Amino acid sequence: MSVILLGGSPAPHSSSSRLLQHIGERLALHGQRLHRIEVRDLSATALLSLDTDEPSIARALAQVRQADAVVVATPVYKAAYSGLLKAFLDLLPQDGLAGKLVLPLATGGSQSHMLALDYALRPVLASMAARSILPSIYATSDQLGRGLDGSLNLAAPIAVRVAQGVEQLASELRLVAPRPASEPAAKDLHAVPA
Ligand SMILES: Cc1cc2nc3c(=O)[nH]c(=O)nc-3n(C[C@H](O)[C@H](O)[C@H](O)COP(=O)(O)O)c2cc1C
């Protein structure tokens, strides 16, 4: 099973990316194979000109195509998800999430826009035929503390939500039927045929 961690913040020291990283580490403990895509690291020119042949974009799209699940992280910007994330989602085919599980998560400055994932992002994900969109995880920046060693120190309610989200995603992934032999998993993308 392969899981994409998709980060949609333009900020280099992003709270949503830190939460995404934390969830990735928890999923790895469940034996999931992870690929990280930070949209801000892709070619901006290619993103804005819908150039799906540009190498960084083509690689990211192939990783999404091969994935069984996508964890999508975004900051809340102007009561919605980030424009950067939308630029990447616009590159996916209309059924680009078909058969995939999706776990949406966001960080925001306050609780005021905690429903942004549900009213703004969820319909977009559904329009791309996601197999199942799990309950969203939302945290404010001040619920994401730092421990003395720099590690993420989640407020108790968020830690509970994260544990639930990870457990649900991992258990639903266990229910996904194995791929047919003709359809290689993401790790086999570069394998040399025998
Ligand atoms: C341009 C911009 C717009 C924002 N708009 C909102 C908003 O509408 N509602 C909100 O709760 N927070 C808003 N914020 C705060 C961010 O959502 C918050 O700081 C978030 O944790 C940033 O995540 P990031 O570090 O992953 O980019 C905004 C921040 C910026 C820079």
Angle, helices 156-175 vs 15-29, to 10°: value is: 50
Does ligand 1 lie within 6 Å of residue 66's CB atom? no
Dist. CA 9 → ligand 1 center (Å): 9
Query: Which of 101-105, 113-117, 177-181 shows the highest mean pLDDT?
Result: 101-105
Mutation pick for ligand 1 pocket among 40, 76, 82 (CB with most ligand atoms within 8 Å): 76
Does ligand 1 lie within 6 Å of residue 76's CB atom? yes
The overall average pLDDT reported for the chain is 91
Q: What is the pLDDT of residues 46-72, one digit of tens each?
A: 999 999 999 999 999 999 999 999 999
Tell me the domains of the chain and their CATH numbers: 2-188 (3.40.50.360)
Nearest to 22 by CA among 153, 156, 190, 130: 153
Q: What is the pLDDT of residues 132-188, one digit of tens each?
A: 999 999 999 899 988 888 788 999 999 999 999 999 999 999 887 565 555 554 443
Nearest to 19 by CA among 29, 6, 10: 6
